[in-house]
Amino acid sequence: MRKVRKPEGKIRPKKERKVYFLSSGQTDQIRQALNETAKDSRVAEQQIVVDIILNAGLLPEELARLRIEDLPHINGSNLIKICSSEYTTERGIKADNQLIQRIRDYHSSFRGSARSGDTLIEHRGKAVNEPAIRRIISSFGDSCGLKLNPRNLRQTYAMRLYESTGDYDYVSEQFGRLDNSSDVLLHYIFVNFAHKERNEMLKNMYKRADEKEKTQGQG
C-alpha cells in the first residue's frame, strides 16, 4: 500500500475573517471631527474622503476614480454614480442631503477649476490611487485617536444602512463588489439579523462595542 506523506511542520487553520465596524461612540467622534472647519486643504481632503466612505460606502479604488460628473450636485440627482470596472459593478449610491452639501462645498472650495473627466481627489494635478486613499484615511484616524481604514468605515456604513432599512438586498446592492471582507459582512448580517429580533441584537451589539471601547480607554 502506498504511504501518504505527511506535510512537514504544523498545519495552521484558516483564520476566520472578522467583522470590523465602529461603535456608536467612535462614529460620533468621527462625525464631530468631520463637522470641524478644515484649517487647510489637506485636512479638508481627509474629511471628504472619510465622509464619503463612512456615509456612502465607496471602495477606496472607487473613490480614487470618482469623477466630477459623477457627483450628485453635478449629475442632478441624489446619487453618487459609480462606473463599472474590473473592481466593482456600475451602480448609483444614494447620498443624503448633508453629504451632498459637503461634497458640493469641497468641490467649489478646492476643486472649482476641475473639468469633466477630472477626479474629485487629486494631488498636484494627478488622480490618486487606492494606497493614497488608505493613507488619507489613516491620517484622519490618527488625528482623532482612532485606527481607521476603508474596511471598518465601509462595514460601519453597511451595518447602519441595514439597521435603518432592514433590507438585505438593498444593502448588498449599495455595498457593491463582493470581495472577501464584504462577503463576510453581508453573510454576517443575513445570518444574525434577518429575523424579528434584529433590533434587539443590534442594540446589544453596539452596547458591547461601547463597553469595550470604555474598557480599553481606561487601560
Per residue in 85-116, pLDDT (tens digit) is 665 668 899 999 999 999 999 999 999 888 88
Integer Cα distance of 104 and 95 in angstroms: 12
DSSP state of 182: H
**In this structure, what are the phi and psi dihedrals at residue 67, rounded to the nearest 5 degrees?**
-95, 160
CB 50 within 8 A of CB 133: no
Q: What pLDDT is attached to residue 1?
A: 47
Integer Cα distance of 146 and 152 in angstroms: 11
Record: fold of 24-214: hpI Integrase; Chain A (1.10.443)
pTM (2 d.p.): 0.77
Q: Which residue has the cell 450628485?
A: 72
Q: What pLDDT is attached to residue 7?
A: 46
Low-confidence stretches of the chain (pLDDT < 50) are 1-2, 4, 6-7, 9-14, 16, 196
Q: What pLDDT is attached to residue 171?
A: 83
Q: What pLDDT is attached to residue 207?
A: 77
- Domain boundaries, given as residue ranges, for the chain: 24-214
CB 90 within 8 A of CB 36: no
**In this structure, what are the phi and psi dihedrals at residue 194, rounded to the nearest 5 degrees?**
-85, 55
Beta-bridge partners for 91: 82
Integer Cα distance of 148 and 136 in angstroms: 10
Q: What pLDDT is attached to residue 205?
A: 73
